[in-house]
Structure 1
Amino acid sequence: MTATSTPSRPRPGGPVVGLLVLLWIGGLLAAGWWLFSIGMEQWAASYSPPDAASAELERRASRAGTTLVLVVAGGPLVIALVAYGMRLVRTAVVFLVLTLLLGGPALVLGAAANRDRQPPVPPPSAPGHCVELSGGDTRCPGG
C-alpha cells in the first residue's frame, strides 16, 4: 500500500501577510527617499550662511530619520504579530528574527544620532546684580 500525500491548501492569511510585506517595503523606500531628499537640501544649503531655514531642515531631517527607524524596526514586528495571529508560525518566526536583526541596530543607531541633536545646555547666566570686587575700584552704581 502506498501512502498518498494530499497537497496542502494555502493558508488564508498568506495574501494579507504578502500585502503587509509590500506595504513595509514601500514604506522603507518612501522614508529612505524622504531622508535622501532632505539630505540633498541640507547639502545645497551648506553653501549658504546658516539661518532659520537650516534649522528647519535639521528638524525635518530628524523627523525623517526617526520615521525611517520606526519603519525599519516596526514593520517586521507588525508583520510577525499579524502572521502569528493568522497561525502562520514559521512566517511569524522569520519576521521576528528579521525584527531583531534590523530593529536592534536601527534603534541603537537612531538613538545615537538623536543624542547629538539635543539642544545645548545654556551657559550659566551672569549675576543679575552688581557684584563688588575687592582690591579695586568699584563699578557699581552708587558705590
Structure 2
Amino acid sequence: MTLTWTTKPFNALTLTELYTLLQLRSEVFVVEQTCAFQDIDGQDQVAYHLLGHSEAGELVAYTRLFAAGISYPEASIGRVVVSPSTRRYGLGRELLRQSIAAIETLFGAQPIQIGAQLYLQAFYESFGFRQHGQGYLEDGIPHIHMIRA
C-alpha cells in the first residue's frame, strides 16, 4: 500500500483533516483500547501533524510531532496511530520512518523522546529508541519513556 504523506502545522489543517485525524485517534485510543482519556489535550495547536493518506484519500496513518521543549526536553513523536483496517501492510514501520524524517526536516537531526506503550518496546527499539527511566501507567496502560539519540 502506497501512502501520500503530508506534514502540517495545526493552523494549516483543513476542517476535514482535523475531523478525520481526531476520528482516527478516537477510534484507536478510546474505542479499540477501551481507554477513556482526554485526547484533545491542548497540544495539537503547537504540534506538526503527519498525515498518511491512502490512494483512495482515506487517512490511515498519523502522528503528532513536537519541537524540543514542548512535550519533553527533546523533540518528540506522539499519538502514533495506524487505522485498524490497514495494519497488515506494515504501515506502522513506514509511519515511524516518516515521523523521524519529518522531525529531522522540521527541527534538524537531534534526539527524539517518546512515551511508548510497553508492548511496543521492541518495535521502537528497532528504530534506535532505548528505554529511558522507569515504566509508568498512563490512563491505565503500561508505558515507558524512550529516547533515540
Q: TM above 0.5, one fold? A: no
When normalised by structure 2's length, the TM-score is: 0.24
If each structure's helix is expressed as a fraction of its own residues, which one has the higher value?
1
TM normalised by structure 1 equals 0.25
